Structure 1
Amino acid sequence: MTVVEDRLGELERRVARIEDEAAIRRLQMAYGYYIDYNRPEEVAGLFAEDGAVVFLSGEYRGHEGVMRLYGTWFQNLFTGGRRGPVEGLLLDHFQLQDVITVSEDRKTAKGRFRGVLAGGWHDSVLDRKPDEVPQQFWEAGIYENDYVREDGVWKIRRLNYMMQWQADYETGWAHTIAHLQPAVQTYPENPIGPDVILPEEEWRQTWPHRQEVAMSFAHPVLGATFVKEHFTKMQKEWP
């Protein structure tokens, strides 16, 4: 191959990777919009055949599990089984701060996002509000997701959402304990429960507890091999 052909091939690979990242970002952003309006069928359509969601220390598996979480649980909890938007209900999920890593063979990818949720009910519809949910609340969490390309289309293989905090709007995070707690019972004993409870070492306590969420991406400057000891060595070498 000539130098020009080599450079052209490298440019094609770079463009393909950029296109993959854009498609995955679009996929995740679409997920945020669909759950805003309680549209579980569209949400389920974003997942691979073997897709799964990890939420509140439980894993919901396959399209049936995804529909149980976003349809049976979320839709019934927030909208009484109706598709949104619903008058007087705020449930906006912002998908932010993405770092996407596509594998060398471009068949799989990792993605880290930050989610922020503003939710609640207007005074005029308080008769629909579930007792266990505050009228106005904030929530934030981190996604560490796996994606897969199926038949040339990027899909979510494992959406791994780790809630970081919840807060009543009026009192703030300093005075709030999360109103959602980790799963303790699986489906079908719990009709809205996960298929599997995470192992004890992976179990997630909610706010005000805090825990590290391992990062799927390499350090953008120092590379994947970076460890704290390297930084200590660098500090000693600084003038």
Structure 2
Amino acid sequence: MDELQTLRDELKLLRADFDAMATKARKADDYIEICNLQAAYGYYVDKGRWDDAADLFAPDATLELAGRGVYVGQERVRAYLHHLPPYDRGVLYNHMQLQPVIHIDSTTGTAKGRWRSFMMVGALGAEARWGEATYENQYKRVDGKWRIALLHGYMNIYTDYEQGWHKGGVKLLRSIDGLQPDLPPTMEYEAYPEPVIAPYHYDKV
């Protein structure tokens, strides 16, 4: 009888270990999928693939960039993206997605992530600029796939390449011609040389 109880206890421990490993494996898979999702967004934006970028958002997603107000819903996100410069000869629009800090709730299918976006933006013979922003994003599973639920880019610095940041930055563009936001900005701020600290979704890692 004691031997049977010992086997039951060992089986119970094995099941607990298996469940713990399965939970860790699911979270690891979710982490990879979210990183790929955000990186894909950056690559699509680089090349002006606005519809592909918009398809990465949830149907009820929101987008807020550089203090220009909030756009609500995937189709409004799509409309916003289509108002950005088209990719063509002499256009540079690189948006690198770096330094992720991601917290995932695999059970509910939700996650939050903080990213740094490094930008090289310009047009041949017209302008060349550096940019850097902090993203505080939210994600959720939609029909089994991770999608961007909230994308909020806080622009930290935008400056002319030839002048450099020691001479100051370019004022943020507060609106998009021909497209009004659905909601006002959630935070009023100005970029460098003013200090900008995007709110953290976490206190400690």
* Aligned mates of 2:128, 2:113 — CA distance in 1: 29
* Aligned mates of 2:196, 2:145 — CA distance in 1: 34
Aligned to 2:184: 197
Aligned to 2:89: 87
Give, as a single letter, the amino acid of the residue that structure 2 aligns with 1:92.
N
* Aligned mates of 1:104, 1:157 — CA distance in 2: 15
- Of 53, 65, 74 in structure 1, the residue corresponding to residue 63 of structure 2 is 53
Q: Structure 1 length normalisation: TM-score?
A: 0.76
Aligned to 1:173: 165
SS in structure 2 opposite 1:196? Answer: coil
Q: Structure 2 length normalisation: TM-score?
A: 0.88
Counterparts in 2 of 1:20 and 1:106: CA distance versus 1, 3 Å: farther
Give, as a single letter, the amino acid of the residue that structure 2 aligns with 1:163.
M
Aligned to 2:13: 3
- The structure richer in strand per residue is 2
SS in structure 1 opposite 2:201? Answer: coil
Equivalences for residues 57-76 of structure 1 within 5 A: 57=67, 58-71=69-82, 73-74=83-84
Counterparts in 2 of 1:173 and 1:22: CA distance versus 1, 3 Å: same
Aligned to 1:217: 202
- Of 120, 123, 128 in structure 1, the residue corresponding to residue 122 of structure 2 is 120
Aligned-pair identity in percent equals 29
Q: Tell me how many residue pairs correspond in the alignment.
A: 194
Give CA-to-partner distance per residue, 1:136-173, whole Å, 9 cap, x none: 10000000001011111100000010000011001111
- Contact 1:49–1:63 at 8 Å: present in 2 too? yes
Aligned to 1:223: none
* Aligned mates of 1:172, 1:203 — CA distance in 2: 25
* Aligned mates of 1:218, 1:106 — CA distance in 2: 21
SS in structure 1 opposite 2:100? Answer: strand
SS in structure 1 opposite 2:74? Answer: helix
1:18 aligns with 2:28: yes
Superposition deviation, residue 106 in structure 1: 4.0
Structure 2 regions of 5+ residues with no counterpart?
1-10
Superposition deviation, residue 179 in structure 1: 4.1
* Aligned mates of 2:189, 2:98 — CA distance in 1: 22
Give, as a single letter, the amino acid of the residue that structure 2 aligns with 1:195.
D
> Over aligned residues, Cα RMSD in angstroms?
1.7
1:206 aligns with 2:198: no
* Aligned mates of 2:202, 2:100 — CA distance in 1: 11
* Aligned mates of 1:178, 1:141 — CA distance in 2: 14
- After TM superposition, where is structure 1 displaced by more than 6 Å over at least 4 residues in a row? none
Superposition deviation, residue 32 in structure 1: 0.1
Structure 1 regions of 5+ residues with no counterpart?
127-134, 221-239
- Of 102, 110, 127 in structure 2, the residue corresponding to residue 100 of structure 1 is 102
